[in-house]
Structure formats: C-alpha cells, structure tokens
Structure 1
Amino acid sequence: MRLLAALLGLVLVGTLAPAAHADPRWHFYTADRTRYESPWFGGAHRIMIPFGCTSAPYYSPDPRCRGGNGFHHGLDVAMPCGTRLYAAQPFRVVSSDSLGSAYGEHPLLLRNARQGWDLVIGHTRRVYVREGQWVRRGTVFARASDSGAPDGCHLHFEKRAVGGGLSTATWPRPLLDLSPRPS
C-alpha cells in the first residue's frame, strides 16, 4: 500500500512538472497565460511573443504599429530546451541559407507546396532532417533550443508564402493548430 501511495505521489508530482522547467530568461510580451498544445511540439506551452505588433525590444519601430512598437513576423512559443518537434504536416526541407543569425544556428525552412506554405522554425538543435528530404507526418525532426535567442529556450514559427521572404509572412497560428490544454 505504501508503494502504491509513493508511486501515485510521483505521478501527481510529475503532472505538475512543467512549471519546474521554466527558463528564468523567459520574458512574455503577451497577457495570454494559456498553455497551448500543437501537433508540432510535445507538451503544452505559453506564447512568449505573438505575431504582429509587439513591445518586445528586439524589433525596430514599424509604421504598422502604435507607440513605436515593432512587428514580429512569427510566433514564439516558450518551451524547455530539448522539447521534440513533430511534423504535423508533410513537408520537404529546403535550404535555409537565406535565413539570418537571428533564427539561431540551425534554423529550418520547411515547404509544403501543395498546401501553399513555407514554415521557418528558428532556435532548433539536434536537427534530424537534411535539405531535400521529404518528411512524413508524425516524424520527430528536431528539438527546441536557445540558439540565437536572448530570452531562453523557445521556438519561433513563421509562416510564409512558398519561396517568399519575410514580407510574405502571415499569421502562423492556424498552421500550428494551437489548442488550449484542457483543464
């Protein structure tokens, strides 16, 4: 009976573990405290910097934004380093040579021409795919990192037009299929 109680205690403590993995460098530029799940990553995590106008200091003032705020072309999701990334949709890995150092050491540029999108994922490590490879749905293809990120481990998701540059970035949330974690 003691063994069962001890195991139950470990299971319950394990369910509370996500808070213990908080990165002290995280800074959230949104009032949204919801933890979201996505078929693209393991676990449920908070948005650090939303798509669009933001007060985050990393972006130059943008005429689309009030009060001297900058424009963020992606969505940053805070998560522990090492969190697995999964292919929620099939894609081909294309050259990421056009991406700058702000995306970290191992940024990925993923393409699904049939569905009409490119997805830039910044701040990855242990990338398990290579340029030219076709990746099936459900495949683990990388892990989250803090490479190139001044504010701790997170992933940057940026949806673009196929072959398009930063100016073609659009709201990535529908592609990420974010859903609030059930209470």
Structure 2
Amino acid sequence: MMRMLGPVVALLLSASPVAAAEADPRWVFYSRDTTAYTSPWYPGAHRTMIGYGCTRAPYYPPDGRCGGGHGFHHGIDVALPCGTPIRAGRRGRVVSSAAYGPAYGVRPLVIRNQRLGVDILIAHARTLLVEVGDRVGRGTTLALASDSGAPDGCHLHFEVRDAGGGLDDARRPLALLDREPA
C-alpha cells in the first residue's frame, strides 16, 4: 500500500504548497506560549494553540483536576495551515481508530509504537495517506492537516496514550513530539 501511495503523496504535496506564514483566521491560542517550535512531525515552525492539561479553552467540560471550571486537554494542538503534511516522528504500525469519537475528526490516525508501549494519536486530519496495518518509519508522510471535527481551524492534535489504552491513559506528549524552539 505504501509504495502505491508514493506518487499520490508527491502529487498532493506539489499541487498544494503550504507556506508557514498562512494563518487560519479561526485560530485561537489558549496557550500563553508564543514560541514557534519545529518538530519532525511537521515542516516549519508553529505555535501551540492548546497545551496538555488544564485549559481555559471552552470546548472541554469542567474537570476535577482543574480549578475555576477549566477543562482538561489530553493532547497538544499545534496550529498548522490546512494541507500541511504531517509526518511520522517515530516508527510504528497504524492501528484501528474505530473507538475514537467525532471530537477527533472524521478519521483520526493511531500509530502504535511497541517498543515504547504507546499509541500516538493524530487527529483533525481529513486526508490520510496510510491505512491500518501499514508500518511507518520516521519521516513517512501520514496525513494532511485539516479542521475535521475542530471548531478552531486547521491544526494537529497530538496525543499519547498507553498502547491500547483509553482517554484516562493519556500522558504528557511533549517528549514524543520532539519539538525545538525555532
């Protein structure tokens, strides 16, 4: 499957170039961090919209772990222009995302890294370039960023859970995002 997608990926990426400066007018930054970060998961340097943990973003119901009626965000949202390629920053195998609800978009993507014992969830992408069962290596183009299921514009939702785990198994994803200040 991956070999057949190579020409398709090249065509998609060449037909819709994405400039890092293209801002989505719907972006709202609930993170006070104004630093743009690079990561092997995406090209260019981009800001965090919503960080992991307690947030004042209105999309999340109040959570007992957070004061002031704030909700809890189980991943990191990175502002990416629509169509930005999302690449694998780690090796793994694509596993089913059938258990994930509509809050993650039409087709969330889950990559299982057996060595680390984690599932990496990529959400809000509309165009997936891999499918269940595919092995992916670092640098493999997985999807194109979109706003699928997202009220606040195109972005990457990056979440890490125990392999086969549920929402309660989500863990701080920064170490696997491998981001660096630009």
1:47-126 superposed matches below 5 A = 47-126=48-127
Task: After superposition, give the CA deviation of every residue in 1:48-96 in whole Å (9 maximum; x if it has no partner).
Answer: 0000000000000001101000000010001100111111111100000
Structure 1 runs (4+) greater than 2 angstroms displaced: none
Tell me by how many angstroms 1:113 deviates.
1.1
Gapped runs of 5+ residues in structure 2? Answer: 1-18
CA distance in 2, matches of 1:147, 1:98: 17
Return the alpha-carbon distance in structure 1 between the equivalents of residues 44 and 107 of structure 2: 22
Cα offset for 1:176?
0.4
What secondary structure sits across from 2:158 in the alignment?
strand
Shift of 1:114: 1.2
For residues 7-58 of structure 1, give each alpha carbon's deviation from its aligned partner in whole angstroms, at most 9, with x where no partner exists.
xxxxxxxxxx633x11110001011110010001111100000000000000
Between Structure 1 and Structure 2, which shows a larger proportion of helix residues? 1
Question: Hey, what's the Cα distance between the residues in 1 that align with 2:41 and 2:69?
Answer: 33
CA distance in 2, matches of 1:156, 1:140: 16
For 1:43 and 1:116, the matched residues in 2 are separated by 28
Q: What's the secondary structure of 1:43's corresponding residue?
A: strand
- Partner of residue 159, structure 1: 160
In 2, the alpha carbon distance for the partners of 1:62 and 1:75 equals 17
Q: Equivalent residue for 1:34?
A: 35
2:127 and 2:70 map into 1 onto residues whose CA distance is 34
Aligned length: 164
SS at match of 2:68: helix
SS in 1 for 2:171: coil
Q: What is the TM-score normalised by the length of structure 2?
A: 0.88
TM-score normalised according to structure 1 size: 0.87
Q: 1:24 to 1:174 in 2, by over 3 A?
A: same
Gaps of 5+ in 1: 1-16
1:105-164: CA deviations, max 9, x gaps? 121011001121101111012211110111122111111001111000001011000110
Q: Paired residue for 2:20?
A: 18
Partner Cα distance (1:141, 1:18) in 2: 19
CA RMSD of aligned residues (A): 0.9
Paired-residue identity, % = 60
2:5 matched to which residue of 1? none
